[in-house]
Amino acid sequence: MSVVAQVVPGPRAGEIGVLGPRVGLGAGFAAVYRAQLSRARVARIPLLFVATFQSVGIMVMMRGVVHAGDGEAARAVVAGSSVLVVAFVALNLLAQYFGQLRASGGLDHYATLPVPPAAVVLGAAGAYASFTVPGTLVTAVTGCVLFHLPPANLWVLAVVIPLAGAALSGLGAALGLLAPRQEIATLFGQLGMSAALLLGVLPASHMPAPISWTRDLLPSTYGVEAFARTFDAHPDWAAVFGDLSVCAAVGVASLAVATRAYRRAACR
């Protein structure tokens, strides 16, 4: 009896083998998102608790120097602390995650999957951003109680979280993929979260002009401003929409940069 072996040619030098035909962006995103969500659930829940505890602790500390009531400082503290939860997870942890993947060769696994590169970046970013929802809500409700702010417009968080999360997730993924070493990616993530803390919790009118200009460059600032405006008795919804539009635009741009960085890192 003769055995006929069929030889399947492997990838050429410099190419990466793919485990099957490519799927579309939507299906690829859904697959990566579910995998990341189930994989990160156990590991990230303790870190999400830390992020929430940190933000609530900042509000408690600031309550000692900021008067309760409908004032600019109170609104800035509550809005900034709420969005800080998003920055901690979507920016800081995602930068560390992609930096660790690049350093350990984990990107090779994703490169063999039959999904577009954009689906990998979007799926991971979406999963990390999803973990911020409970902590952001808890922080916002606690802040309203501490500073006597009206909770009537907390529904706007349903828009702030995904848009600010997209902007910060794209930035975090790009930092992690572009950093030359894992330690640098961790440093970038920490610096980004610290900037979100220092520039987001304090009201803009209390800052010197140079720092205020730097604040305008941080994408989380626009999520903070949009949320803070909703505490007014008569919110300026056009300004809220404008701030959220900036978040959306930065999110698209940063996720595109992260996707390009992923392609470059995965093909090395």
pTM: 0.83
Contact 250, 219 (CB under 8 A): yes
Instruction: Say yes or no to pLDDT of 9 above 80.
Output: no
148 phi/psi in degrees, rounded to 5 = 55, 45
Radius of gyration for the alpha carbons in the chain, expressed in angstroms and rounded: 21
Q: Who's near 59: CB < 8 A, 6+ residues apart? A: 77, 78, 81, 139, 142, 143, 146, 147
pLDDT averaged over the chain?
82
In a domain, 31, yes or no: yes
Token pair of 177, please?
A: 């993929």
CB 253 within 8 A of CB 168: no
Q: Confirm whether 130 is domain-assigned.
A: yes
- Total count of domains within the chain: 1
Q: Residue 102, class by beta-carbon neighbours within 10 Å (0-12 exposed, 13-18 middle, 19+ buried)? A: buried
81 to each of 210, 239, 251, how far by Cα in Å?
22, 20, 20
Does residue 16 lie in a domain region? no
| pLDDT tens string 40-62 | 666 667 777 888 888 999 999 88
Q: Once rounded to an integer, what is the mean pLDDT over residues 74-88?
A: 91
DSSP state of 87: I
Which structure tokens are listed for 76? 């800035």
Is the pLDDT at 15 greater than 80? The verdict is no
**Tokens 């995998």 label which residue?**
35
Q: What letter represents residue 176's amino acid?
A: G
Q: Which of 132, 130, 152 is nearest to 141 (CA)?
A: 152
172 in Cβ contact with 192 (< 8 Å): yes
Indicate the pLDDT class of residue 140, thresholds 50, 70 and 90: very high
Question: Is 149 a member of any domain?
Answer: yes
Amino acid at 212: S
Token pair, residue 247, equals: 């978040």
Report whether pLDDT(6) > 80: no
Secondary structure string (H, E, C) spanning 144-199: HHHHCCCCCCHHHHHHHHHHHHHHHHHHHHHHHHHCCCHHHHHHHHHHHHHHHHHH
The answer to whether residue 2 sits within a structural domain is no
Calpha distance 7→105 (Å, rounded): 28
> In this structure, is residue 240 part of a structural domain?
yes
pLDDT given at position 44: 63
Q: What is the span of the domain harbouring residue 206?
A: 25-266
Compare 121 and 20 and report the one with higher pLDDT: 121
Q: Is residue 15 part of a domain?
A: no
6 domain residue, yes or no: no
